[in-house]
Amino acid sequence: MYKISFYDTKPYDRQFFDKANKLFGFDIHYYETKLSPKTAVLAAGSKAVIAFVNDDISKETINRLCEQGTELIAMRCAGYNNVDLEASHGKIKVVRVPVYSPYAVAEHAMAMLLTLNRKIHKAFIRTRDHNFSLNGLTGFDLHGKNIGVIGTGNIGRTFIDICQGFGMNVYANDIYQSCEKAKYVSLDELFALSDIISLHCPLTSDTYHIINKQSIDKMKNGVYIINTSRGSLIDSSALLDGIMSEKIGGACLDVYEEETDIFHEDYSDTIIKDDLLLRLISMPNVIVTSHQGFFTKEALQSIASTTLQNIDDYANGRVLKNQVFVKKIKT
């Protein structure tokens, strides 16, 4: 039977993958620990490993997997910035789930914006304490506001559809101008025009800290920033400075650049040592969720079925339509 090692397992992962695996019949071994050079040994004898966004798939990890006979890394997500593709080249194949539910992430981005703007989270706490005052709960109409969308792939385009349903003016920036419903502008123009900015681009060397002190300085006073993509798109220190100076009116963060050892875990009885994250969470105009934008039944079903189909395609010698390739080998 085809053995697979599954890392960073949560109960919901097992639920959806076990159901999807009834069609394939793989021998899946689930591990709660994240994939790293130290934990790669658990995959001994596995032809494939299933990994996630916060696993450490570095050169050292890849080399250890290869030494043990692993031939395929199946990412159960769209992003793969945590995979050393140069190290994998010619040694081990990498596949991903390019599309699972763009609606899940796009809807979560809008839910965060509505929650922060209309202070729904604060109203919820108040009314549970029988406090029905409206003081401090003022928001603003989304209708007629300018929203800048950076990245117009599947999720970005879906988010644009939602924004236009609210009557917002959409400006976009992307190398590939694939959305006819948005007006494409330069980044500097987008920063200057937007009342709200939402990030939907992948993390690359070009987009790392695309939101930084210099770009924040170019934005409108009171701008809202939404990030449901990758944490390192934002320089968190610059973001906090912008919030403290009131240049930034609000931030909705489903991701954080140092989230690896924190998000998806329970630290309610533990002192978190990340002072920057604690300060961001403490701000009254910041909402942080634990990288849950993807977290719908439909998305989890799609992730499980696509991931196992990717592995089945490899096991049976089919074309890997979701394979990830390194763009350029450094010499």
pLDDT tens-digit profile of 6-38? 999 999 999 999 999 999 999 999 999 999 999
Same fold for the domain at 3-100+297-315 and the one at 102-288? yes
Q: What is the pLDDT of residue 328?
A: 60
Judged against a pLDDT cut of 80, whether residue 265 lies above it is answered with yes
Judged against a pLDDT cut of 60, whether residue 329 lies above it is answered with no
Which tens digits make up the pLDDT trace of 145-197? 999 999 999 999 999 999 999 999 999 999 999 999 999 999 999 999 999 99
The listed CATH number (3.40.50.300, 3.50.50.60, 3.30.1330.120, 3.40.50.720) that belongs to domain 102-288:
3.40.50.720
Q: List the domain boundaries for the chain.
A: 3-100+297-315, 102-288
CA angle 164, 170, 173 (to 5 degrees): 135
1 pLDDT band, cuts 50/70/90, is: confident
Which tens digits make up the pLDDT trace of 205-239? 999 999 999 999 999 999 999 999 999 999 999 99
Q: What is the pTM of this model?
A: 0.91
State the CATH architecture for 3-100+297-315.
Answer: 3-Layer(aba) Sandwich (3.40)
Q: What is the pLDDT of residue 331?
A: 43
What is the average pLDDT score of the chain? 96
The set of catalytic residues is 230, 259, 291
